[in-house]
Amino acid sequence: MVFVALPAFGDLSWQGVWEGTTSTGHAIAITVDATNHIPTLTFSGRGTGTGCFVEFTTNVNFPTPPAVNADGTFTASISFPDPGAVSFTMTGTLVSTGTGSGSMTFTRNGIPGQPGAAGCTGSGSATFTLARQGGPPGLPAAILAVVGSVQGAAFFRTGVQIHNSSANTISGRFLYHPQGTSGTPNDPSMVYTLLPGRTQDFADLLPAMGLSGLGSLDIVTSDPVPIMVARVFSDAGDAGTAGFTIDPLAPSAALQTGQSGVIILPPDLVKTRLNVGFRSLETGAAMTMTLRRSNGAMKGTLNKSLASNFFEQPSVAALLPGLFLEGSDTITFAITSGKVIIYGASTENKTQDPSLQYAKRAF
């Protein structure tokens, strides 16, 4: 499988150099193919031997792809049965930004009875660095726009159930991005594994991850995304709960450049409060927001921008300062760059009963 924080949405590649005991600057590269998810390793260089040097240039197609863990670490062992067989063991870390690193050990068994380089036996070692070169920034397989376990006017929680309907075991990560910051692959996460036909229940997801607060959730996997039921609810203890279900969205469902989405304000802003949630994708987003009365008359426009993988959920008053808000007003979000998921979260002030609407695409 591939590094789960970087699922295959295009070929992914890393380039670098390795440094041996006798020479430096030799090339190493790893490419993860988008279709079959199998990594290809390319490297060249010169290793130490007994009284000779070992030079090699080769492409390696792993018959069994090495596991690349959720934190980007991998281990690969390769042997070549050619004359003078060479064996390599490599360990390293692939990263989405910055520079990864690793080490390599290799041995060479010379050809019996052959002099010089052909008969050389020995071993060597090297270290290497790897920098991400190709492929788009890591995209999640699906996004749960909002998750929370937080005390406000009510205590809001998020219950999640996941189910594996396939005949194979599936696994992945829940990657939590807290509000107010750009999300990264190193944000808090929790691995899930589901056997065929199994269902797993999280009564309140964030505490199950050792977390609290408000944010958004990436489902990061190279396997099929599990069937998911997520419910955001206000918990009144013995008085019960009130809430709504929210579906995870594929990144392709986000509003993008040239598209517009609409949120309708509650009919009575005294009885019901509204927050507007934003979750940008890898390139961030910019938009023009237009407020209109229920009769279609324009009240005003404001511009807004978001950094990459950014989540926030301001009140509608904070979102549109200086504009007078009335029941059944509409906000149109015209996306001028990037991609973003937008929703409106309404809460009835007396009962704390919440509801959610995704911004509907304008036509």
Query: What is the four-CA torsion angle of 212, 217, 218, 224, rounded to 10 degrees?
Result: 100
State the pLDDT at residue 2.
26
Q: Is residue 265 located within the same domain as residue 339? A: yes
Q: Is residue 302 located within the same domain as residue 348? A: yes
Q: Is residue 112 located within the same domain as residue 22? A: yes
How confident is the model over 61-92, as pLDDT tens digits? 555 555 556 566 767 776 665 555 667 677 77
Q: What is the mean pLDDT of residues 324-336?
A: 98
Residue 322 lies in a domain: yes
Name the pLDDT band for 214 (thresholds 50, 70, 90).
very high
Q: What is the mean pLDDT of residues 284-307?
A: 97
Q: Is residue 328 located within the same domain as residue 263? A: yes
The per-residue DSSP string of 188-227 comes to: -EEEEEE-TT-EEEESSHHHHTT--EEEEEEEE-SSPPPE
Q: Is residue 287 located within the same domain as residue 227? A: no
238 SS3 class: helix
pLDDT more than 70, % of the chain: 65
State the pLDDT at residue 3.
27
Q: Is residue 155 located within the same domain as residue 221? A: yes
* Total domains present in the chain: 3
Residue 352 lies in a domain: yes
Q: Is residue 22 located within the same domain as residue 118? A: yes
Positive or negative: CA dihedral 135, 71, 64, 99: positive
Q: What is the mean pLDDT of residues 267-289?
A: 96
Q: Is residue 98 located within the same domain as residue 123? A: yes
- Are β-strands 227-235 and 155-163 bridged in parallel, bridged antiparallel, or unpaired? antiparallel
Q: Tell me, what DSSP letter sits at residue 124?
A: E
State the pLDDT at residue 80.
60
| Range with the poorest average pLDDT among 11-15, 196-200, 224-228, 289-293 | 11-15
Cβ burial, residue 71 (10 Å; 0-12/13-18/19+): middle
Angle at CA of residue 161, ends 153 and 67, nearest 5°: 120
Which is nearest to 354 in space by CA: 143, 152, 162? 152
State the pLDDT at residue 72.
64
Residue 120 lies in a domain: yes
- Residue 50 maps to which CATH number? 2.40.128
The Cα–Cα gap between 255 and 314 comes to 19
Q: Tell me, what DSSP letter sits at residue 136?
A: P
Cβ contact 333:357 at 8 Å? no
Q: Is residue 239 located within the same domain as residue 283? A: no
How confident is the model over 29-59, as pLDDT tens digits? 666 544 444 456 665 555 554 445 555 545 5
Residue 311 lies in a domain: yes
Name the pLDDT band for 1 (thresholds 50, 70, 90).
very low
Q: Is the pLDDT assigned to residue 323 strictly greater than 70?
A: yes
Q: Is residue 80 located within the same domain as residue 188? A: no
- Residue 188 maps to which CATH number? 2.60.290
The per-residue DSSP string of 343-360 comes to: EEEEEETTT--EEEEEPE
Q: Is residue 39 located within the same domain as residue 129? A: yes
Positive or negative: CA dihedral 323, 328, 331, 332: negative
How confident is the model over 175-188, as pLDDT tens digits? 999 999 999 877 88
Q: Which of 246, 274, 297 is the last residue of a domain?
A: 246
The Cα–Cα gap between 213 and 33 comes to 37
Q: CA dist 299 to 3, 267, 268, 332, Å?
A: 48, 17, 18, 12
State the pLDDT at residue 221.
84
State the pLDDT at residue 126.
66
State the pLDDT at residue 324.
96
Q: Which of 107, 134, 161 is the last residue of a domain?
A: 134
Q: Is the pLDDT assigned to residue 352 strictly greater than 60?
A: yes
Residue 4 lies in a domain: no
Between 164 and 139, residue with greater pLDDT: 164
Q: Which of 205, 221, 246 is the last residue of a domain?
A: 246
State the pLDDT at residue 25.
47
Q: Tell me, what DSSP letter sits at residue 34?
A: T
| Range with the poorest average pLDDT among 62-66, 166-170, 247-251, 324-328 | 62-66
pLDDT more than 90, % of the chain: 52
Residue 270 lies in a domain: yes
Cβ contact 322:289 at 8 Å? no
| Summary mean pLDDT of the chain | 80
One-letter amino acid for residue 44 of the chain:
S
Residue 3 lies in a domain: no
- Residue 313 maps to which CATH number? 2.60.290.11
Domain range spanning residue 339? Answer: 254-361
Residue that is written with structure tokens 């991005």 in the block: 177
Q: Is residue 67 located within the same domain as residue 146? A: no
Query: What is the four-CA torsion angle of 107, 113, 116, 121, rounded to 10 degrees?
Result: 10
End-to-end, the C-alpha distance of the chain in Å comes to 41
121-150 CB burial, b ≥16 within 10 A, e <16: bbebebebbbebeebeebbbbbbbbbbbbb
State the pLDDT at residue 306.
97
Q: CA dist 271 to 58, 150, 197, 262, Å?
A: 70, 22, 44, 22
Neighbours of 222 (CB within 10 A): 18
How confident is the model over 220-257, as pLDDT tens digits? 887 889 999 999 999 988 889 999 999 999 999 999 99
Residue 5 lies in a domain: no
State the pLDDT at residue 11.
41
